[in-house]
């Protein structure tokens, strides 16, 4: 199968892996790419993949090896949570208390504690999802999340603005890193699970790892351009 692959997934995967520090986790963003591409990366040892649509993820989950750790990275409607709750490894895109509560509820039904990240909105674009810093502060200050036994907040996810200005990207990632420190100190000082900083995509992951990212979400640089 790999010999028929028209795109060199394996070569590109190794290029990306060799350009990030070994302690930074690579989430291979496979949305809109065929299962064969995921298998190619899997054969090279990649185990963490990210998807942004529930139905596409469900198909791939069914078809592919069960030791893959699936991360959900897209906008997640509350009525879709029940479908991914039995197997999702991490929901990176939690941007409301309502969604957090639903993940907790579905986690309880499956007897699981589901790992999540809070998605920050730090980019200048108005269209992106995520919690504004003050909304994220409020959510954590409110404390209701502490009663949710079937979700585990493992850190923050952020996207920088889609711009060429490296200084702006860097300043946005540093803002996310500062928020991480603030929340860690205030709410998670005794909680070792709160340790992930998911930032960096194909065009900016080099900057992200310089801004203390622990997890980069790279699609295009591994799998090529997406065909929608
Ligand atoms: C699609 C997507 C990515 C990967 O983007 P690339 O530019 O293809 O690396 C990362 N994070 C999120 C949230 C995405 O939706």
Answer whether 85's CB lies under 8 Å from 114's CB: yes
**Atom 12 (ligand 1) nearest CA:** 73
Ligand 1 center to 216 CA (angstroms) = 9
Residue 107, SS3?
helix
Kind of pairing between the strands at 114-120 and 90-94: parallel
Q: What is the predicted pLDDT for the residue at 128?
A: 63
Task: Report the C-alpha gap between 68 and 93 in whole angstroms.
Answer: 19
Contacts of 167 (CB under 8 A, 6+ apart): none
Ligand 1 center from residue 87 Cα (angstroms): 21
What tens-digit pLDDT sequence spans the chain (228 residues)?
444 567 999 999 999 999 999 999 999 999 999 999 999 999 999 999 999 999 999 999 999 999 999 999 999 999 999 999 999 999 999 999 999 999 999 999 999 999 999 999 998 877 668 999 999 999 999 999 999 999 999 999 999 999 999 999 999 999 999 999 999 999 999 999 999 999 999 999 999 999 999 999 999 999 999 988
Residues whose CB falls within 8 Å of the CB of residue 65, separated by 6 or more in sequence, listed in order: 42
Atom of ligand 1 nearest to the CA of 217: 10
Helix (H) or strand (E) holding 179: helix 166-187
Q: Taking the complete model, does pTM exceed 0.85, yes or no?
A: yes
Which pLDDT value is given to residue 127?
64
Q: What does residue 176 show for φ and ψ, rounded to 5 degrees?
A: -65, -40
Q: How far is the CA of 218 from the centre of ligand 1 (A)?
A: 6
User: Residue 5: what pLDDT?
Assistant: 62
For ligand 1, residues with CB inside 6 Å are: 29, 31, 52, 73-74, 159, 201-202, 217-221
pLDDT for residue 35? 97
Our CA angle for 166, 168, 171, nearest 5°, is: 110
In angstroms, how far apart are the furthest CA atoms of the chain? 54
């Amino acid at each position: 199968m790999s010999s028929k692959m028209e795109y060199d997934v394996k070569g590109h995967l190794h290029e990306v892996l060799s350009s990030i520090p070994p302690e930074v986790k690579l989430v291979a963003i496979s949305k809109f790419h065929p299962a064969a591409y995921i298998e190619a990366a899997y054969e090279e040892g990649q185990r963490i993949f990210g998807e942004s649509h529930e139905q596409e993820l469900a198909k791939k989950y069914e078809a592919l090896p069960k030791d893959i750790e699936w991360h959900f990275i897209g906008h997640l409607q509350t009525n879709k949570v029940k479908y991914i709750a039995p197997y999702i490894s991490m929901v990176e895109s939690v941007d409301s208390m309502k969604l957090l509560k639903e993940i907790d509820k579905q986690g309880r039904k499956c007897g699981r504690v589901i790992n999540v990240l809070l998605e920050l909105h730090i980019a200048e674009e108005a269209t992106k999802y995520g919690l504004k810093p003050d909304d994220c502060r409020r959510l954590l200050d409110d404390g209701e999340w502490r009663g949710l036994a079937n979700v585990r907040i493992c850190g923050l996810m952020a996207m920088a603005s889609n711009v060429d200005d490296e200084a702006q990207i860097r300043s946005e990632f540093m803002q996310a890193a500062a928020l991480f420190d603030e929340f860690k100190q205030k709410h998670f000082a005794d909680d070792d699970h709160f340790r992930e900083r998911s930032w960096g995509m194909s065009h900016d992951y080099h900057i992200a790892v310089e801004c203390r990212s622990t997890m980069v979400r790279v699609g295009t640089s591994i799998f090529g351009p997406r065909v929608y």
